[in-house]
Chain A
Amino acid sequence: EVQLVQSGAQLKKPGESLKISCKAYGYSFIGYWIAWVRQVPGSGLEYMGVIHPTDSDTKYTPSFQGQVTFSADKSITTVYLQWTSLKASDTAIYFCVRVEDYGHFQFWGPGTLVTVSS
């Protein structure tokens, strides 16, 4: 069974760093791109970009370029989303999701709630 298991909720202060994870189970990890999607509470879905676990090739949307970093460790079938200096506006739920061959998003993680507050 394909599963994406995400790390737990985080409460951080502005300026702090953070790395959240998404661990894949049940399929060939290196065969699929993984996307990250942001959802501010009460708002819609925002596509942040993708990473390929084979070589950590990454593609960011312009809104998120330079604001976050994607990484991957194929030895433990895990991808990461990282911030070096959080802002209050980063408060959101972050989903990882597998990108299917056609290009749509099939298997979603449950999301990680990141709250940034002083």
Chain B
Amino acid sequence: EIVMTQSPATLSVSPGERATLSCRASQSVSNYVAWYQQRRGQAPRVLIYNTSTRATGVPARFSGSGSGTEFTLTISSLQSEDFAVYYCQQYSNWPSRTFGQGTRLDIK
């Protein structure tokens, strides 16, 4: 099973600043990585798929990059609604899918 490891577990950032979240795969997953945002009490919402494609309706301040085993989600200027938990997911081999353990983004 491919293991996805996210860092840091918790990130404290001030509104308006940039946040950078990392995700490492235990083996190459090509570009088959998605990022999800989960606000408290809500279902997850896809932000990015195929490493860098923003899902419909996702603001341009969210961007994804990486390849192989190292991936990054960047939020360029944090808004109040961005403080949530973020998960990466790999989907490189059907039907296997695994999530990272999540990064909590807190207000500093």
Interface positions of A (Cβ within 8 A of B) = 33, 35, 44-47, 49-50, 59, 61-62, 95, 100, 102-106, 108-111
The residues of A that contact B98 with a CB separation of less than 8 Å are 47
CA distance A59 to B32 in the complex (A): 19
Q: Are A59 and B45 in contact (CB under 8 A)?
A: no
A104 and B49 in contact, given A95-B44, A109-B43 (Cβ under 8 angstroms): yes
B-side interface residues, number (CB < 8 Å):
24
Q: Are B99 and A45 in contact (CB under 8 A)?
A: yes
Q: Mask for B51-80, Cβ within 8 A of A = 1, else 0? A: 000010000000000000000000000000
A104 and B44 in contact, given A47-B97, A47-B98, A47-B99 (Cβ under 8 angstroms): no
Interface positions of B (Cβ within 8 A of A) = 1, 32, 34, 36, 38, 43-46, 49-50, 55, 87, 89, 91, 94-102
A105 and B87 in contact, given A49-B95, A59-B95 (Cβ under 8 angstroms): no
The residues of A that contact B96 with a CB separation of less than 8 Å are 61
Q: What would be 29 A-B contacts, judged by CB atoms less than 8 Å apart?
A: A35-B97, A44-B87, A45-B36, A45-B38, A45-B44, A45-B87, A45-B89, A45-B99, A45-B102, A47-B89, A47-B97, A50-B95, A59-B95, A61-B96, A95-B43, A100-B49, A102-B49, A102-B50, A102-B91, A103-B32, A103-B94, A103-B97, A104-B34, A104-B46, A105-B36, A105-B46, A106-B46, A106-B55, A111-B43
CA distance A115 to B40 in the complex (A): 19
**Shortest beta-carbon distance from A15 to chain B in Å:** 29
The residues of A that contact B95 with a CB separation of less than 8 Å are 33, 49-50, 59
The residues of B that contact A35 with a CB separation of less than 8 Å are 97
Closest 6 CB pairs of A and B: A103-B91, A104-B34, A104-B49, A108-B43, A59-B95, A45-B99
Q: Determine the residue in chain A with the shortest Cβ distance to B90.
A: A103
CA distance A102 to B46 in the complex (A): 13
CA distance A39 to B25 in the complex (A): 21
